[in-house]
Structure 1
Amino acid sequence: MKYNKKAMTKLINQHRELHDELKKIKVEMGLEKNLAIKTLFHSMVADNGPYMKEYQELERMQ
């Protein structure tokens, strides 16, 4: 599965828990927003993550 910033951003905007996790990653790891979004993608979407199906649907719609 490929990373798609547009789909990932939309997914984050739809789920408050992902938004909160993004903020946490930025602070704890000291990452800029784009790298934090990629980190969130790999931990919550890729490799059968809990948000994988929703992400794939968003990707298809684009």
Structure 2
Amino acid sequence: MKYNKTTMTKLINQQRELHDELKRLKAEMGLEKNLAIKALYHSFVANSGKYMEEYKEFDRPRK
């Protein structure tokens, strides 16, 4: 599974926990938005993370 910023952004907008974590990363660690989104991907999606299935649903091509 590959990182895709657009897909990850959709997932963040859908999941309140990820949205709050994004704000926290930006504020506490001073990360810019793009790096914080990528960090969330690696923490919560990649390698069988908590939101991996939801991410796959957003990543599937539409018919």
TM-score calculated relative to the size of structure 2 = 0.92
What percentage of residue pairs aligned between the two structures are identical? 71
Match of 1:31 in 2: 31
1:5-60 deviations in whole A, cap 9, x for unaligned? 11100000001111000001111211000000000000000000000001011001
Match of 2:47 in 1: 47
Q: Runs of 5+ in structure 2 lacking a partner?
A: none
Regions of 4+ moved over 3 Å: none
The reply to whether residue 10 of structure 1 matches residue 10 of structure 2 is yes
What's the offset of the Cα at 1:61? 3.5
Structure 1 or 2: more helix by fraction: 1
Q: Which of the pair has more CA radius of gyration?
A: 2
Q: Distance in 2 between matches of 1:36 and 1:61?
A: 25
Q: Distance in 1 between matches of 2:52 and 2:29?
A: 23
Aligned residue pairs, count:
62
